[in-house]
Structure formats: structure tokens, C-alpha cells
Chain A
Amino acid sequence: MTTSIATPLRALLLTGLLGVLACAPPGIANETGAQDFQQIERGRYLAAAADCSGCHTDPQGGRPYAGGRPIQTPFGRVLAANITPDRDTGIGAWSDAEFDAAVRGGKMPGGSRLYPAMPYPYYARMNKEDVQALRAYLNTLAPVRHEVHSNQLPFPFNIRASMRVWDALYFKPGVYQPDSRKSPSWNRGAYLVTGPGHCGACHTPKTPLGADVIGRPLQGYSIQGWFAPDITNDSRRGLGDWSPQDIVEYLKNGHNRFAGAAGPMGDEVANGSSHLSDADLLAMAEYLKDQRSQASQVPSVSVRDPAMVAGGAIYQDLCSACHRGDGRGIPYLIPDLAGSASVASDQPTSIIRVVLNGAKTVATQDEPTGPAMPSFKWQLSDAQVAAVTTYVRNSWGHAAQPTTARAVRKARKQLDVSVRQ
């Protein structure tokens, strides 16, 4: 490894590991004390990297990590568990081994199975020390008595035993194995992205049963009413135009010269990646920039297409004041539609959603503005939303399937339902 970042990163990794070992009392090197500061700090950091609180804290006034947040899956709803150390309703009574089996194996004490809404297929990549550090951190939280009945799925998915079959089919346990041909930082990035960061939980296409499609990691997937875009280095759909520093800024601050994080990614930045070190974010960027995609080539819609003509007029009228006539936006304030490959994602889920509902980007320490876009739901018909999204997805060098009014109607209906909930 010859890049300038390698040495400090390696040093950081080494000191991290040595720190834990050095602090362990003699004789019980594999068991750390309950007050091991370094281990707890490492666990706190990993809890951010894994965005545990994103699911395990109910944003509707819930106590930290006390669970209860509904997680929408394609099969129904599950509620995130209480992972505070309360002995009755949390995980306080679990042994370290039971905790490990749950996080990395999807198995609950007593043998029943977790649903993969808990991303144990990714956490399985984590090493044992990290899982124990996570446990050590969670042990320091205030225990909260909060009974959560996680399983709210309809039949037959509510039968946890069915997960045995799922696990047998799809779950590939195994700690991340470094690739010796790649740099330490690449490997660190790979570990974070595929392990605790569980980026693929949203960004990797899924089979009808919710497992990752083999061979298409991080190539984009529609989830929870958003399209989590391709985050490989593909220049037509993914992050090809982003420098590693652009990726670091985005993960750290929620904003870079191209884009602002909103929706679930905004939450992820706020709870998760904004708390990671620049070195780790750069490592993740290095790994992502080395990923390839097989994005299918789609012909762009003709500029003479009636939807493009109408969409162009709508864009000029309603969008161009902020996003500018050339689609370039204002760096760090108004997203760059021309330069954002994700605009032309395989599915228009996110762009339809943002036009209909508006969106507020995340506000962070270094980028506190948190600019927002208003809703156009009341103003544009299904056909008009279809036209303007078709226009944006086929301008400035983008090419994508035209949006149909039917897709907009469906999205509108789903958004209305989710608002009523």
C-alpha cells in the first residue's frame, strides 16, 4: 500500500487493537472488565457505525435503545427490540455468548430465530472482539423497562421457525476475511461497509424473500418508499463522479457538492456515519470506489417525446429557480440533478417521492443548514409528476426509463397510507 493514508490508518487500527489487549488484566485476556474504558468507547463507536439506535430507538419519544420502533419489511411490520440492559424486557439477562449469537447468528437465547430486519447477515462479518465491545457499551446504558412485542408479521411470516429455512437458504455466516491483495484501509472499508455498516441492507437488490441478490452488491434497491441508489463506482448509476473525499463529506456531514442526505439516509448520517472518524469514512470510500456495477444500458427518452416537452416546461417553471436551468443546483445547498447519477436510478421511487412529499435534508454539526424542498403533491397531477421526473432523469446526459403516471399514482397512494399511519 503506497497511498498517503495507509500508514496513519494502519497505525490507528493497530493502536485500537493493542489498546484493548494492553488493558486486559493478565490471565483473562479474552474477557475484559466491565469498566474497560477503551472497550466501551470502541463499542460506542461501533454502535454508531452499525447505527443501532436508528432502529432500536423509537423516534416518537422513545428512550435510547429501548426499542419499539416499527420497521417496515416487505412482509409486514416488526418492532425493534429493547436492547438496554434491563433484565426482564431488555437484554440484561443475556450472556455475552447469547448476545454474540443474536448479533452474528440471528439466534435468540432459547434457539428461536431473529428476522433479518435485524441485519445479522451483515453483522456476521464482524469479529468477536467488536461484538463484545458493542455488548460492553450497551451494558453501560440505563436499563429501560419497556416490553416490546417485536413480531407483528402476518401468517405465515409470524412463525419464527420459518426463519430456519430462510437461514439455511440465504444466511452465510463467517467473519470478514481480509483480502491480502488490497490495502489495509480498503480492508477496513470493506469490513465497515459489509459488516457493522450493513450498507447492503438497503443498497443491495433483494430476492422476493428479502435476501441479497447474489453478485449484485450495493447496486441499488427500493426500500421503505425510497430507492437506495447504486453506491458502486458506476458512473451512470453510482458514485463514479464522486471523489473519495466527496463520499467522506457526504457520510460525515450529510452534504457534499452534489447531494444532500434525506429520508432514511439522513437518519443514517445523523445517528451513524457522522460519528465515524474521517479515516474510517475514507476507508469506506476507498472500498466503495473499487466496487463495480452491471447497470443496464437504457436509451434516453427523446427530447421530442411529449413527456419530455411537458416535463421541461414544468422544470423551467417550478424547479429551475433552485436547481438552476442547467440542473447544477447550489453546492451543499440545492442538490445537483445534472451531476447526480442517482437521479437516473433504475427505479424512480425516490425522485417521485421527493417531488410528491418534499424532503428535508439532514442537518449536522458542520452543515447545520438542513435545506428542504417543499411538497408538490397538491400542485402536480400524476401525469405532470411523471413528465417532470422523466425530464430530469433524461436530461444532462442521464438516461432512464420514462416514469409512468401509474407509478406516480401508486406512490401517491402509498404515501397517503404511510402518512395516515
Chain B
Amino acid sequence: MTERLPAKDVVIVGLGWTGSIVANELADAGLQVMAIERGPWRDAAMSYAPNYAQDELRYRIRHELFLRPDQTTFTFRNKMSQTALPIRNWGAFMPPNGVGGGGVHWNGETWRFLPSDFVAASHLKQRYGAHFLPADMTIQDWGVTYEELEPHYDQFEYLCGTSGTAGNLKGEIREGGNPFEGPRSREYPNPAQEQPFSHTLFAKAARELGYKPFPQPSGNMSRAYRNPLGVRLGPCTYCGFCEWFGCANYSKSSPQTTVLPVLVRKSNFQARDNCEVTRINLDSSGKHAAGVTFVDSAGKEFEQPAELVILAAYTIFNVQLLMLSGIGQRYDPVANRGVIGRNFTHQTISDVGSFFDSARFVFNPFIASGAIGMCIDEFNGDNFDHGPHGFVGGGYMGQVQTNGRPIESTPVPPGTPSWGAQWKQAVRENYQSALKPGTGVHGSMYSYRDVYLDLDPTYCDRFQRPLVRITMDFHANELKQNVFLTDRFAEIFHAMGARQVVKEYRKAPYDITAYQTTHLCGGAIMGTDPSTSALNRYLQSWDVPNLFVMGASAFPQNAGYNPTGTVAALAYWSVAQIRSQYLKHPGPLVHA
């Protein structure tokens, strides 16, 4: 028996970064807001207390903060001709769970995309000609520009207290920052973090090679900070337990440390945790969302009516709810028609291990934070001439030393036995003098006709709903990109004085078992044409105008950066339009 709850103005599915930001903005607009979160409530100091949070086995190896695949999972295949099988242990990416979502366990890398990233299709075609792009590549312009998003990037960075060095201040290129970034309207709210030895060494070598290294923009605090909402963060202690972990020192920006303390004080905001939304309900017209149906941990089903529905779950779950609710036409790669599931992307990540003379180099890799690092951006986006190289896209690369944790940080040179006395001896000898960046080459992945999401014909979840099926493989463009970038990256480690450099190229087929990043993108993309996008430029569903879909599922293709900054900027952009236009005149904000 489904219990029908009192109607709300807004129901938000998922209380991570975008859910928290949108909830706070809409509560400020005076609306009654209900957020429904599948996972548990999480509080900064209590849920991952600093006296036990530094537990690599519990959090990194056993995935404490993540969704359990036996609650729900996806099926995976590389090619359309294959039969997909369910993922039973997370590998290539980590679906978040619980209040704060991915904002709890992220590293804090807070990038902006390049101005040209938002107009990738038209920019690349104009510069290189349409024939330069692979025939099955389906990249699109976003429908929103960097200039339009700039104030919202700024909003997010000031919410977070991002630590960094501006490289382009209102068009003026600044020494020490990223000269390739789009113009920013003001400085970062906090200076860059202090860099450990290996980072400064990387920067020195990069400079000598003619590059312009800069500190990675970091959601780890370089100093105490009070954000515009009045919430306080403390300086990072460089403990090296950041990604995969929650920070109870109030030093990593997360919904818990920036916006939730203010949101939970608002009497017009309510949240339900441990409740899973199973579908978005439409009225009889099929063009208007009536609310959502969810199930609590006791298995009881509820209906939450609302005037406005905000999907703010993780990429794949947004797409899944759209598909299962019959919103938008599902993508058919054969006919190349439909929008829900298309342009699904990830990243193209690779790394370089390097071994230095232990008598001369002591790197203390445990002095680390999630987003600390020195990077170069010469090979990102279209910052370089792709003409001679025969591929498009790129990525930043950097010495980003996120940890020296014991279980994972055992770099040994190739040829070392994988266990036993010799292995132990090699670990001992190399721990302090080997480098293996947490983020090495952080490359883009562009979209293709045969990389997409749909519903699995065989496997179901506990509610008997079909699982989402991932069809994904690397294409030649990304593999070429990766070889070129990894080679450039390795040159810097040679220049640093490494005696041995081991390149670990990203190879096909796409491996679902090895971690890359959690940056899954696309599947419900934004754009200007309803026949090739699920959402308009304000993240509003073309088909159901009282439904907005936040998150990286809106990215038409993925750039060579971590997505969180852009995800949050888009959320602010969308909710600003909801507040200024939609609430006054509910209905489509763009007429196609």
C-alpha cells in the first residue's frame, strides 16, 4: 500500500553536491523542499571521525562510503555484439551513496573547463575541418558558454574555499597560475596549498622544458576559511587520507562542510535518508511530473507529490530514473535516434611510475592532500595544435601526490617479484624515492555512437527493475591521445632525474575492473536540439518542463578535467534560472 505524503513545492532526488546546492537555493526562494537520499545521513565529525577515518582497509579497499553492488549495480560490455554481465565489485568508478554523495569521498580537485570545451564540436570543426573528427564521434556543443558559467564557477569556488593561483584574471595572464584557463572574475578565495618536495621538483623540471606549471585548484584548505554562507572550514593537515575518505577535520570542501549546516536549519527544508526513489511519476498528459515514488529501508512505498522535480543523483542513476519513468526517447545507437542514454563518457587516465636514487631523493609521499599537486595544461583541450597528431582532446597532467598509504603505496620497479622477501626489500628501498601520481595524465573522453547506456534485457535490481547496461570501449582517438600525453608526461619525470620511468598507457579494451576515476558523464545531455539532447541549456527536460536534471549526466562529452567544478557551476546556473524565470512562469525556458 503506497502512502501518499503531503505535497511539496520541490522534491530533490539525491542529496550530494548538486542536491544540496539546489535545495539551499530553492529553500531561500521560500519553497517547501524535500530531498530524498538513498544512503545514510553523514555528518563531518561523527560519521567518519578523525580517530578512525584513516583506515585504508575499511574505506579504500572495502569501499565503506560507496553503494553496495548488492543493493544495485550495472551490467557492462565493451561492444554492442557482446552480452553484458553485472558488475559485482566496483572497479573503474565508484558510485557514491549517502548524504554528501561524491562530495564526501572526492579529492577536492576543483577545475573549470576551458572556454573551448563548451563549444567543442563547432570549435574543432572550424579549426581542423569536420573530416578531422572520427566519423562515429558524436561530440556536441553544450548550449551554454564559459562566460555564462563563470559567475557560477566563482560561486562554487567561494562556497568551497578553493585553494589555487589565478592564471587568468579578467583576461590578464598571471605568473604562477594556469595561463590557459578562461578569464576568472576574481582570485581564488584561498591561496594554493603548500607543495611537497616532489611537486616542486616536477614544477622545476616542467619549467625547464618550457611549460608553465601551476598548483592544482584544491578543495583542501590552505588556511582557515569562512564561506559566504557563514560556514567554516579548517586548514588541511596534509594527512593523505582524502580520496575514498571523508574529512572530519573540516578541511575538505564537501556538502557537509559548506552548505548542509545552513540548509538543515531551514524550516522549509526536509530530507529523508535511506530512501530510494524508484520512479518519477507523470500526470496523465505525460508531459508533467507529479512527483516521485520512493521506498524506505523497511520496504514501504511512498509517493511524494511535488510541483518541481530535481534529479540530482549520480550520472547513471539520473539516466536510469529517466528511462524507467518513460521520460524522453531512449537512445537507439543503430537508428542513431533518441536521447536518453546517448553520449555516455568517462575519462582517459594513465600514469607514469618513476624511480629515483634513494640516496638523493626522499619524497615523504605521506605528506599529501587529495588535490595537492603541480600540473601543466599545455596538452589539454585544444590548447595545442592537434593537426600533426591526428586526434582531438587532451588532458592536464601533473605530479598530484594524494597519499602514501601503506596498502596501495608499494611502488617497485618492473621485474620485482610480486611477493616474498625480494618484494619487501624493494618496497623498503623505493617507498621514499619512487613517485606514482594519484592523478597523472587526466585525459578527456569524447562521445561515440556506440558508447551509451540502455536497460539490460536480462538482469534486474531488487525492485525487479532492469539494471542499466553500460556499453563502453576506448576508441582510437583517445588511445592516440593517451600515448601522446603519457610520453610528454614521462619526459618531465626524466628531466626530474628519475633513473627509471615506467609508462602505464591506457589500453583498450576499456577495463571495468581497474579504477580510473568516478567521472562518468553523459546519458542525459544538455544541448540546443531536442533530437540530440535530453535537456535544454538550463538542464530542463525538453519533454517534462517541471523536471530539471543536475549532474555530469548533462555533459555532451567529457573534457580533460575533473568534473565537479563544472557540475556545480551548472547546478548554480540552472537554479539561478529556475529562481529568476521558471518560478515566475513555470514552463519551458527554451522553445525548440
Q: How far is the CA of A379 from the CA of B235 in the complex (A)?
A: 25
- Residues on A with C-beta less than 8 A from B234 are 322, 330, 333-334
Contact A322 B262 (CB under 8 A): no
**Does chain A have a CB within 8 A of B49?**
yes
**Does chain B have a CB within 8 A of A167?**
no
Q: How far is the CA of A73 from the CA of B86 in the complex (A)?
A: 60
Q: How far is the CA of A235 from the CA of B45 in the complex (A)?
A: 31
Q: How far is the CA of A358 from the CA of B47 in the complex (A)?
A: 13
Scan B217-240; emit 1 where CB is below 8 A from any A CB, else 0.
Answer: 000000010100111111101010
B46, B226, B231, B261: the one within 8 Å of A374 (CB): B46
Q: Which size class do B's interface residues fall under? A: 20 to 34
Scan B246-283; emit 1 where CB is below 8 A from any A CB, else 0.
Answer: 00111000000000011001000000000000000000
Contact A331 B224 (CB under 8 A): yes
- Residues on A with C-beta less than 8 A from B51 are 318, 374, 376, 379
Q: How far is the CA of A379 from the CA of B44 in the complex (A)?
A: 19
Contact B50 A370 (CB under 8 A): no
CB-CB nearest in chain A for B47: A374
**Does chain B have a CB within 8 A of A373?**
yes
Which of B43, B50, B51, B237 has the most chain A CB within a 10 Å cutoff? B51
Of A109-117, A339-347, A361-369, A410-418, the one contacting chain B is A361-369
Given contacts A333-B250, A334-B234, A379-B51, contact A363 B265 (CB under 8 A): yes
Given contacts A321-B239, A333-B224, A374-B45, contact A368 B231 (CB under 8 A): yes
Contact A372 B224 (CB under 8 A): no
Shortest B260–chain A CB gap in Å is 10
- Residues on A with C-beta less than 8 A from B224 are 330-331, 333
Scan A281-324; emit 1 where CB is below 8 A from any B CB, else 0.
Answer: 00000000000000000000000000000000000001001100
A321, A369, A376: the one within 8 Å of B231 (CB): A369
CB-CB nearest in chain B for A369: B232
Count of chain A residues with Cβ under 8 Å from any Cβ of B? 24
- Residues on A with C-beta less than 8 A from B229 are 368
- Residues on A with C-beta less than 8 A from B46 are 358, 360, 372, 374
Q: How far is the CA of A371 from the CA of B234 in the complex (A)?
A: 10
Given contacts A321-B50, A331-B224, contact A370 B237 (CB under 8 A): no
CB-CB nearest in chain B for A330: B234
Shortest A367–chain B CB gap in Å is 7
Q: How far is the CA of A373 from the CA of B229 in the complex (A)?
A: 22
**Does chain B have a CB within 8 A of A332?**
yes
- Residues on A with C-beta less than 8 A from B52 are 379
Contact A366 B230 (CB under 8 A): yes
- Residues on B with C-beta less than 8 A from A322 are 50, 234, 249
- Residues on A with C-beta less than 8 A from B248 are 374
Contact B45 A363 (CB under 8 A): no
CB-CB nearest in chain B for A363: B261
Interface residues of A in 357-401 (CB under 8 A from B): 358, 360, 363, 365-376, 379
Nearest 9 CB-CB pairings of A with B = A374-B49, A372-B45, A330-B234, A368-B261, A369-B232, A333-B232, A321-B237, A368-B262, A333-B234
| Chain A residues within CB distance 8 Å of chain B | 318, 321-322, 330-334, 358, 360, 363, 365-376, 379
Given contacts A331-B224, A333-B233, A360-B46, 20 further A-B contacts (CB under 8 A): A322-B234, A332-B232, A333-B232, A334-B234, A358-B45, A358-B49, A367-B230, A367-B232, A368-B231, A368-B265, A371-B232, A372-B44, A372-B45, A374-B46, A374-B50, A374-B51, A374-B248, A376-B51, A379-B51, A379-B52
